[in-house]
Amino acid sequence: EPEVTQTPSHQVTQMGQEVILRCVPISNHLYFYWYRQILGQKVEFLVSFYNNEISEKSEIFDDQFSVERPDGSNFTLKIRSTKLEDSAMYFCASRKAGVNEQFFGPGTRLTVL
Amino acid sequence: AQKITQTQPGMFVQEKEAVTLDCTYDTSDPSYGLFWYKQPSSGEMIFLIYQGSYDQQNATEGRYSLNFQKARKSANLVISASQLGDSAMYFCAMREEENFNKFYFGSGTKLNVKP
């Protein structure tokens, strides 16, 4: 069964460094999402992406964040200058057109030191 | 105001019994969708059930059903015949037609199923 994949599973970085989190959505899906979940807290929507552009974004998704679909299969989230409070699990999800269900990837745990 | 409120941080249920997890929502959009997700201790997010605001019937998926009370703005998840494997965090979520690709999640309920 097709699934969303994310790499790496765990990323450790120093404060101020740039990180890129990678996702491969399910191949025939058209809508892509990034969420984050700070340990023990709720899942927070960051951004949605459709037709090669941002569809919606939350207040969290400020100028230090960007998303890209560089090659038609990968979907990346870049954090330009990481802060301690960016430490969280980051989930990618994708959805097929006309279907309500989002399929989530296994997440990337980002630790900022 | 919170878009999604889950007032039960933790719940216990005896195996084989039914349990209801509460969710209330806040929106002025007449068209919206409500979702429930399960997050086991392994961390993945698993879609359980969806209810559209215009759906006439309450959604059901196997042992999961959604008790949708539109006037009360509640969308409680009912799990029948609980199993040990149901122990997990459960999140209620919503999206509105106006911002179709933006999802709001509640703070979650941790369900523990006791043998």
pLDDT tens digit sequence for B56-78: 899 999 999 999 999 999 999 99
- Among B37, B46, B99, beta carbon nearest to A56: B99
- Candidates A5, A6, A10, A100: best to mutate against B (most CBs of B within 10 A) is A100
**CB-based contact A42 B101, cutoff 8 Å:** no
- Fill in the DSSP letter of residue A73: S
Q: What is the rounded average pLDDT for all residues in chain B?
A: 95
pLDDT of residue B10: 95
Task: Give which of A67, A61, A85, A55 is closest to A23, Cα–Cα.
Answer: A67
* Residue A112 neighbours by CB distance under 10 Å: 19
Report, as ranges of residue numbers, the positions in chain A whose pLDDT lies below 70: none
- Among A44, A55, A106, beta carbon nearest to B105: A44
pLDDT of residue A55: 93
Using DSSP, state whether B38 is helix, strand or coil.
strand
